[in-house]
Chain A
């Protein structure tokens, strides 16, 4: 082949690179491994992840739910996972129709009218929602409850730091665990949006209807983040409560924990804001003889056309993970999503009741909850959880990892995958370890 293009050696392929810039030594990366060697190496590293082998009550933005077998089978079809972004609709209808169904499902779950083709994850979707609220209202103040996932707030802070947006964090209510009274009080006529998470980081459900009224009274938008998307199967949709932009982490919909990613951000809003939405949108279209198909649409919002005036810089999103969520939601369907949500609610309620009855343990927050709740232990939570871990149970997330006050508090999450036996083992473990201290 070199001959046919008139070259003598592979070396000549790189003639346009000045000699002084050439790497004249082999890369100092490992020699090649065969398949069996490689698998052994990764399996050994995987075995060092004790956390993957334990009974788990960890939530806080990533959740263990049952993933039907069909999800990974569909995801593993080459036609989906080795395709590119559907720029050529005639040979991308599989991807395009799937995204159209995904957008519809997100609208149904959030109670809103328009959803995009996905964002990177819940946290970046929230940051994009804040930027969009500024564009829509042309106001620059954002009022956010501190009951939002602390990592989500950090991401929002990073995104807005050069956008001329002032982000005001408002303390949560120490009694209820919900957004504090200060949140509504902080809304003024410069406020672009009020931002809350529901259920919030502590698992408490926010009164979205009241917050929507307070926001709208001052001409601000209500932005709602959902990290546990299964809650949408049980709780009144944020859209019906009056939210203007709803973002969610879609990991709960058939996506493995995988140490934090890839996950998928859901993004929905009202129809009147469709042209302000970030990211890709798929819409219905017809060919010359009237056959229905789907295309990427409203592209004039996007970076490849609008460049610096685009609604976002996002290009590659989370297509395959959106497919996983779509397969999951269609397999579980209308009944299944509600049943999974109901089981989460019931099992978490059982666990919360039993734990709160243990001597020295209490639940510090009174707000209604879905499947997560904060426990206050009689001893330091980090130490308690470490010893519980040695018994094969990850009992929760110590809140001292995020805040220095209340070192005895930890966040427990219960899903439909946690059996009564596991919950009882957690309770017995907490009881014996706090007594023996």
Chain B
């Protein structure tokens, strides 16, 4: 028995090491069929100087059961939607149906090579085409590309489309139109995506009500340099920008285009359509609104949807339907911004999203939206007595609170979030949007029933009480997890970003 093992633990899993620390020389967890062609010396096929010279030293040598236990133990340290409510604002953590998973694994799709000829991939192209049709109907925007791999990738695509459109419309004079307007409440990806497309960013203020400041927008639009506006709607405070039509008109009048960040589409599906509001281009997050799983940080899928006018600028290849009803790839789009990803995007996510759309049906999609908004309203009402709610307007699918009342006792948003873990919930999104001090952004989604909403509200109220009666309890939370709060500042000062064997580590 090696020293250092802590025997007195409730479960062995807290001791799970890194796989490299478990590795035993010579252990294997696989078997390949014997080679069925005559083996040639490797250096007779490839010059010796090109061959690997380190025998992959340091890579793990473990058995299959080692692998299974390793990952199953680690999995028990994760919170997940299947365990309970995951109210991360702006992330739309809704239930991921197992049926969608099954669909994505159908061999006719899972085993299909992306460079199979069109005639040999008709079913796969049909899935893309049908999903495009449904997304066009849901957004009111007819031009669709499913190629972007995630929300930020869809944003970049949308902004590049705006740039290509302006360059085509204005010719050389487009070079004076390089300003992208972004509200101070926006996701950080918005300015980062605008920058990638060669735009400089100007920030629009929000009003005391939490909406875009129209006067400030007009002022910023008065200089002839505005390429467009990036707007999230409902915005990141969970409020519908009720002046959206006027906002679009102001930007259009100034010669710019309107890009909508579709991260919050879960509040709108079946109720209102960005295309009807005057929006020119939007990205969706299939991994939010259309229930494809987040996978611990991806894969996502960030379709870009645009007006007829912008359609020629979408990435290639486009998936189209021929007169004879067959499906085809069209790369003959001279105004296209180009390709944003190899092949066709995160196809497996498209299968799941189409499955979601078809199992819900049109009435089910609307019901999901209603339930998502109803749940957020219920939480908004339930928590108003104990937490500061900075905006009076009723929220859509998510609601923001602050830690203003709790800070008097030295309890901050981070502490409340960590204490929520002790109550069995995943915390809400914290410190976002940036314009709300100590923001707590709560998005329950439609996948939570009233009983669980009540439990969440009770937990939050209980924490509010603890913040008064026993603030230390909250400040030192969480108390029931495998590890306590980690020293992130130290981790960033001297980053250790990979495992190294002991000797190598001391050698530097």
CB pair B82 A158 closer than 8 Å: no
CB pair A331 B36 closer than 8 Å: no
Q: Mark B204-232, 1 if CB is under 8 A from A, else 0.
A: 00000000000000000000000000000
The size bracket of the interface on A is: 35 or more
CB pair B363 A26 closer than 8 Å: yes
Tell me the minimal C-beta distance from A139 to chain B in angstroms.
18
Q: CB of B195 within 8 A of chain A?
A: yes
| Nearest neighbor of A159 in chain B, beta-carbon distance | B196
Chain B contacts for A323, CB-based, 8 A: 295-296
Known: A233-B52, A259-B109. A38 touches B99 (CB 8 A): yes
CB pair B108 A17 closer than 8 Å: no
Out of A68, A261, A340, which one reaches B347, CB within 8 Å?
A: A261
Chain A contacts for B152, CB-based, 8 A: 303, 313-316
Q: CB of A364 within 8 A of chain B?
A: no
Known: A29-B134, A92-B79, A259-B344. A370 touches B61 (CB 8 A): no
CB pair B80 A258 closer than 8 Å: no
Tell me the minimal C-beta distance from B63 to chain A in angstroms.
9
Chain B interface, number of residues (Cβ within 8 angstroms): 190
Give the residues from 20 to 58 in chain B that come closer than 8 angstroms, CB to CB, to chain A.
20, 23, 27-30, 32-33, 35-40, 42, 45-47, 49-58
| Nearest neighbor of A423 in chain B, beta-carbon distance | B37
Q: CB of B416 within 8 A of chain A?
A: no
A209 CA to B432 CA in the complex, in Å?
47
Known: A33-B358, A38-B359, A345-B46. A416 touches B126 (CB 8 A): no
CB pair A308 B59 closer than 8 Å: no
CB pair B343 A260 closer than 8 Å: yes
Q: CB of A90 within 8 A of chain B?
A: yes
Give the residues from 39 to 90 in chain A that come closer than 8 angstroms, CB to CB, to chain B.
39, 41-54, 56, 58, 60-62, 64, 66, 68, 70, 72-74, 76-90
| Nearest neighbor of A111 in chain B, beta-carbon distance | B54
Q: CB of B255 within 8 A of chain A?
A: no
Q: CB of B349 within 8 A of chain A?
A: yes
Known: A30-B361, A80-B295. A58 touches B495 (CB 8 A): no
Partner-binding segment picked from A117-125, A181-189, A214-222: A117-125
Partner-binding segment picked from B404-412, B467-475, B496-504: B496-504
Chain A contacts for B55, CB-based, 8 A: 334, 338
CB pair B345 A23 closer than 8 Å: no
Chain A contacts for B335, CB-based, 8 A: none
Tell me the minimal C-beta distance from B134 to chain A in angstroms.
5
Out of B68, B109, B355, B484, which one reaches A38, CB within 8 Å?
A: B355
Tell me the minimal C-beta distance from B25 to chain A in angstroms.
9
CB pair B272 A297 closer than 8 Å: no
Chain B contacts for A164, CB-based, 8 A: 198
Give the residues from 324 to 382 in chain B that come closer than 8 angstroms, CB to CB, to chain A.
337-349, 351, 355, 357-366, 370, 373-374, 377-378, 380-381
A109 CA to B32 CA in the complex, in Å?
21
CB pair B374 A2 closer than 8 Å: yes
CB pair B115 A397 closer than 8 Å: yes
Chain B contacts for A403, CB-based, 8 A: none
Known: A70-B64, A89-B486, A333-B61. A23 touches B56 (CB 8 A): no
CB pair A90 B96 closer than 8 Å: no
Chain A contacts for B344, CB-based, 8 A: 259-261
| Nearest neighbor of B58 in chain A, beta-carbon distance | A108
Chain B contacts for A115, CB-based, 8 A: 497-498
Chain B contacts for A163, CB-based, 8 A: 196, 198
A407 CA to B99 CA in the complex, in Å?
44
CB pair A23 B272 closer than 8 Å: yes
Q: CB of A339 within 8 A of chain B?
A: yes
CB pair A286 B486 closer than 8 Å: yes
Chain A contacts for B35, CB-based, 8 A: 342-343, 346-347
Q: CB of A307 within 8 A of chain B?
A: yes
Q: Mark A287-303, 1 if CB is under 8 A from B, else 0.
A: 11101011101111011
Q: CB of B259 within 8 A of chain A?
A: no
Give the residues from 79 to 106 in chain B that come closer than 8 angstroms, CB to CB, to chain A.
79-83, 86, 88, 91, 93, 96, 99, 101-106
Chain A contacts for B487, CB-based, 8 A: 285-288
CB pair B123 A26 closer than 8 Å: no
Known: A23-B272, A82-B80, A256-B111. A101 touches B298 (CB 8 A): no
Q: Mark A100-116, 1 if CB is under 8 A from B, else 0.
A: 11011101110101110
CB pair B296 A17 closer than 8 Å: no
CB pair A120 B242 closer than 8 Å: no
| Nearest neighbor of A60 in chain B, beta-carbon distance | B115
Tell me the minimal C-beta distance from A376 to chain B in angstroms.
19
A260 CA to B346 CA in the complex, in Å?
7
Out of A27, A109, A209, which one reaches B365, CB within 8 Å?
A: A27
Out of A85, A93, A345, A369, which one reaches B297, CB within 8 Å?
A: A85
Partner-binding segment picked from B185-193, B303-311, B458-466: B185-193
Chain B contacts for A78, CB-based, 8 A: 80-83
CB pair A39 B296 closer than 8 Å: no
Known: A237-B52, A262-B346. A285 touches B488 (CB 8 A): yes
Q: CB of A437 within 8 A of chain B?
A: no
A293 CA to B74 CA in the complex, in Å?
12
Out of A81, A332, A401, which one reaches B295, CB within 8 Å?
A: A81
Given contacts A27-B137, A151-B343, A314-B150, 19 further A-B contacts (CB under 8 A): A5-B380, A29-B134, A35-B99, A49-B112, A62-B113, A72-B105, A81-B96, A84-B93, A90-B485, A97-B74, A121-B341, A256-B111, A259-B116, A281-B497, A310-B188, A314-B152, A336-B30, A338-B55, A350-B37
| Complex A-B: 6 CB contacts under 8 Å | A52-B111, A61-B342, A89-B483, A258-B109, A308-B200, A340-B32
The 8 closest A-B pairs by CB, nearest first: A46-B108, A260-B343, A320-B295, A32-B361, A51-B116, A260-B114, A319-B297, A162-B198
